[in-house]
C-alpha cells in the first residue's frame, strides 16, 4: 500500500482529534460515527462497529459503498485519464450526454455538466433568464431546499425562515437573491386543515395569483423538487405537478425540476417520467456520478442553450472519471438496480407502515421507491422533534444511520442504497423498531 495512505489509515483516535482542530465546516449534522470503510449498504467506524447506512451519504451512493462494477470503471478509466478541462472534448462526456438524453423525457436532449447541485440550480437559473424576458424573479415552494451557494441559497428554506427561527444562510441575505415563494401542497397536516384535494386547489389558485400579481414581469422560472426531500420527504401530488406545468405554460415561464435527490432513487431514472410531466430544465447532482462528484442540467429542445463565451465555465465541470461512473450506473439502472430499489423500497415502506399500528407517534410514512420518510407527531399532529432526534441517536448505538428532515426536524429519512436485499431491509426494520421502542417505550 502507498505509504501515505498507510499513515492515514493507521492514525489513532488521539491523532484524529488533533487533526480535527484544523477543520472548518459550514454544515452537516455531526455527532455520528467517524467512518472508516464501507461495503454495500454497510459502513464501519474507526472502532470496528458496523452500521446500515440509511443516508447513502447524502443520498449519493445509490449503488452502495465500493460497488465492484463502479470500482472497476474507476480503476480502468483512471489509468487512462482523470481531469480534463471543460474546453477539451473527450469520448466519455459525449457518451454520457447522449445516454442521459436517451433516458430523459422526450424533447430534452441537451446536457450541460457542472460541479455540484447548487451550481446546477444556478446554471438552470441562467438558462431561464436567457429564455424568459422580461423577468427578474424566480419562484420556489415553501420549505424547499436547492443548495447553499450564494445563487441557490435564497431558494432554500434554511436560508430564510424556518419555524420562526433564522438559520445559517440568513447571515448572507444581502448577498443572496430574493425568491418569491408559493405554498407547497402538503398532504399530511396542511396548515388550513382542509382535505387534500381542496388544499391542492388552494395552492394552485394562490400560485396563479402570485404569478399574476406577486411577480415583476414574468416569473423567470419555477424551481421545484418533485419530492421535497429536506422539507420532510413530501411527495408532491401528480395532479399538482401536472397543473403547475400548465400554469407555467400559460404564464410563459419555465418549469425547472430539481431532481438532485429523486434521480434513480424513486425507481425511475427521472421523476419527471413518473409524474408524467415534461419540465423545461432538469437539475441533477448527488447520485448522478455514482458517488463521484458530478452535476448536470438537461434542457428542453425549445430553449436557447449556453453560448460558449464563459457564460458557464468551471475548471472541474468535465470530470471524466465521474462521467464514466455515471454512464456505468445508468447501465446498471437498466439491468435491475431500479427494479430492486422499487421492490425493496415498497417492502421497507410496508414494514414501516406496520410499525404505525404499534406506535401511533409514527404519524405518517411516505414512500416512493427508496425515497422514504417517517414523520413523528402526537395525536394533534404536533411535530415530535425531540423524540425523532433521540431515535436517530439511539439508532447509532443500534448500528443504524438515519437521516433527519422536515422543517421541524421530526422526520427520519430511511434511504439506503438501491442495491439492498430483503434480509438487510429486515435488519433495518428490526433496528428501527428497537430504536423507536427505546425512546417511546
Ligand atoms: C433537492 C436538492 N437540491 C439541491 C441540493 C444542493 O446540492 P449540493 O449540496 O450538491 O450543492 C441538494 C442538497 O442537499 C438537494 O437536496
Share of the chain above pLDDT 70, in %: 98
Q: Which CATH architecture has domain 26-67+336-440?
A: Alpha-Beta Complex (3.90)
- Whether ligand 1 lies within 6 angstroms of the CB of 53 is answered as no
CB of 285 closer than 6 angstroms to any ligand 1 atom: yes
Interval between CA 28 and ligand 1 midpoint (Å) = 12
pLDDT computed for residue 280 by the predictor: 98
Tell the residue nearest (CA) to atom 3 of ligand 1.
146
Residue corresponding to grid cell 396563479: 208
Q: How confident is the model at residue 172 (pLDDT cuts 50, 70, 90)?
A: confident
Ligand 1 touching residue 243 (CB < 6 A): no
pLDDT at 161 over 70: no
What's the half-sphere exposure (Cβ side, CA atoms, 13 Å) at 234?
26
Rounded mean pLDDT, 57-77: 98
Q: What percent of the chain has pLDDT over 90?
A: 89
Which fold does the domain 71-333 belong to in CATH?
Answer: 3.40.640
- The pLDDT assigned to 165 comes to 66
Query: 191 Cβ partners below 8 Å, 6+ apart?
Result: none
425: helix, strand or coil: helix
Q: How confident is the model at residue 170 (pLDDT cuts 50, 70, 90)?
A: confident
**Mutation test of ligand 1: which of 26, 143, 147 has the most ligand atoms closer than 8 Å to its C-beta?**
147
How confident is the model at residue 412, as a pLDDT? 98
Residue 261 in contact with ligand 1 by CB distance below 6 A: yes
Q: What gap in Å lies between CA 361 and CA 66, rounded to an integer?
A: 36
Among 121, 122, 118, 111, smallest CA distance to 86 is for 111
* Amino acid 162: pLDDT: 62
**What is the tens place of the pLDDT at every residue in 260-308?**
999 999 999 999 999 999 999 999 999 999 999 999 999 999 999 999 9
How far apart CA 240 and CA 168 sit, in angstroms, is 31
Closest CA to 132 of 206, 217, 211: 217
- Report d(CA 86, CA 63) in Å as an integer: 27
Give dist(CA 87, CA 103) in Å, integer: 26
Ranking 76-80, 281-285, 302-306, 408-412 by mean pLDDT, the lowest is: 408-412
Residue 160's pLDDT band, with cuts at 50, 70 and 90, is: low
* pLDDT of 407: 84
Q: What is the pLDDT of residue 164?
A: 61
Task: Pick from 114, 117, 227 the residue to mutate for probing ligand 1's pocket: most ligand atoms within 8 Å of its CB.
Answer: 117
> Whose C-alpha lies nearest to ligand 1, atom 4?
146
Q: What 3-state class would DSSP assign to 217?
A: strand
Regarding the beta carbon of 229 and ligand 1, being less than 6 Å apart is answered yes
145 lines ligand 1 (CB under 6 A): yes
Q: Which atom of ligand 1 is nearest to the CA of 144?
A: 1
275-285 pLDDT, tens digit each:
999 999 999 99
User: Cell numbers at residue 46, please?
Assistant: 474507526
Mutating to test ligand 1, I would choose from 60, 119, 143, 146 the residue with most ligand atoms within 8 A of its C-beta, which is 146
C-alpha cell recorded at residue 45:
467506524
- Ligand 1 atom closest to the Cα of residue 149 is 11
Give the separation between CA 350 and CA 263, rounded to whole angstroms: 22
Q: How far separated are the first and last CA of the chain, in Å rounded?
A: 49
Instruction: Return mean pLDDT, the chain.
Output: 95
Q: How far out from the chain centre does Cα 99 lie?
A: 21
Domain ranges of the chain: 26-67+336-440, 71-333
Furthest CA-CA distance within the chain:
64
pTM above 0.85, yes or no: yes
Pairing label, strands 371-376, 411-413: antiparallel
Residues facing residue 394 across a β-bridge: none
Between CA 248 and CA 211 the distance in angstroms is 9
Q: Residue 170 CA to chain centroid, in angstroms?
A: 22
d(CA 392, CA 432): 9
Amino acid at each position: 500500500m502507498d505509504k501515505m495512505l498507510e499513515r492515514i489509515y493507521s492514525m489513532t483516535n488521539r491523532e484524529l482529534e488533533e487533526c480535527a482542530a484544523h477543520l472548518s465546516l459550514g454544515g452537516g449534522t455531526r455527532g455520528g460515527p467517524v467512518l472508516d470503510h464501507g461495503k454495500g449498504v454497510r459502513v464501519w467506524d474507526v472502532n470496528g462497529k458496523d452500521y446500515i447506512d440509511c443516508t447513502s451519504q447524502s443520498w449519493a451512493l445509490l449503488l452502495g459503498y465500493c460497488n465492484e462494477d463502479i470500482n472497476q470503471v474507476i480503476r480502468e478509466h483512471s489509468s487512462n485519464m482523470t481531469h480534463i478541462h471543460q474546453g477539451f472534448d473527450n469520448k466519455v462526456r459525449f457518451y454520457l450526454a447522449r445516454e442521459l438524453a436517451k433516458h430523459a423525457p422526450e424533447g430534452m436532449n441537451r446536457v450541460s455538466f457542472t460541479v455540484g447541485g447548487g451550481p446546477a440550480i444556478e446554471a438552470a437559473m441562467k438558462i431561464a433568464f436567457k429564455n424568459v424576458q422580461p423577468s427578474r424573479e424566480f419562484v420556489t415552494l415553501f420549505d424547499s431546499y436547492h443548495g447553499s451557494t450564494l445563487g441557490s441559497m435564497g431558494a432554500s428554506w434554511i436560508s430564510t425562515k424556518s419555524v420562526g427561527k433564522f438559520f445559517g444562510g440568513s447571515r448572507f441575505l444581502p448577498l443572496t437573491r430574493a425568491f418569491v415563494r408559493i405554498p407547497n401542497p402538503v398532504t399530511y397536516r396542511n396548515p388550513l386543515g382542509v382535505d387534500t384535494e381542496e388544499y391542492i386547489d388552494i395552492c394552485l389558485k394562490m400560485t396563479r395569483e402570485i404569478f399574476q400579481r406577486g411577480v415583476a414581469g414574468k416569473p423567470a422560472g419555477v424551481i421545484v423538487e418533485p419530492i421535497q426531500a429536506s422539507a420532510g420527504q413530501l411527495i408532491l401530488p401528480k395532479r399538482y405537478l401536472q397543473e403547475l406545468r400548465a400554469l407555467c405554460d400559460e404564464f410563459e415561464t419555465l418549469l425547472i425540476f430539481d431532481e438532485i435527490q429523486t434521480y434513480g432513487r424513486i425507481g425511475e431514472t427521472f421523476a419527471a417520467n413518473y409524474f408524467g410531466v415534461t419540465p423545461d430544465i432538469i437539475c441533477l447532482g448527488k447520485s448522478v456520478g455514482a458517488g463521484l462528484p458530478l452535476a448536470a442540467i438537461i434542457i428542453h429542445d425549445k430553449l436557447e442553450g449556453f453560448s460558449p463565451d464563459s457564460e458557464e465555465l468551471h475548471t472541474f465541470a468535465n470530470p471524466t472519471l465521474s462521467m464514466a461512473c455515471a454512464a456505468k450506473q445508468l447501465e446498471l439502472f437498466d439491468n435491475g438496480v431500479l427494479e430492486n430499489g422499487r421492490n425493496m423500497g415498497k417492502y421497507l415502506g410496508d414494514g414501516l407502515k406496520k410499525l404505525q399500528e404499534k406506535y401511533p407517534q409514527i404519524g405518517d410514512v411516505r414512500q416512493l421507491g427508496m425515497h422514504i420518510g417517517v414523520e413523528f407527531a402526537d395525536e394533534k399532529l404536533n411535530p415530535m422533534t425531540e423524540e425523532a432526534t433521540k431515535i436517530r441517536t439511539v439508532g447509532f448505538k443500534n448500528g443504524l444511520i438515519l437521516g433527519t428532515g422536515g422543517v421541524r426536524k421530526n422526520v427520519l429519512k430511511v434511504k439506503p442504497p438501491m442495491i439492498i436485499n430483503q434480509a438487510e431491509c429486515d435488519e433495518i426494520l428490526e433496528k428501527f423498531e428497537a430504536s423507536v421502542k427505546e425512546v417511546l417505550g
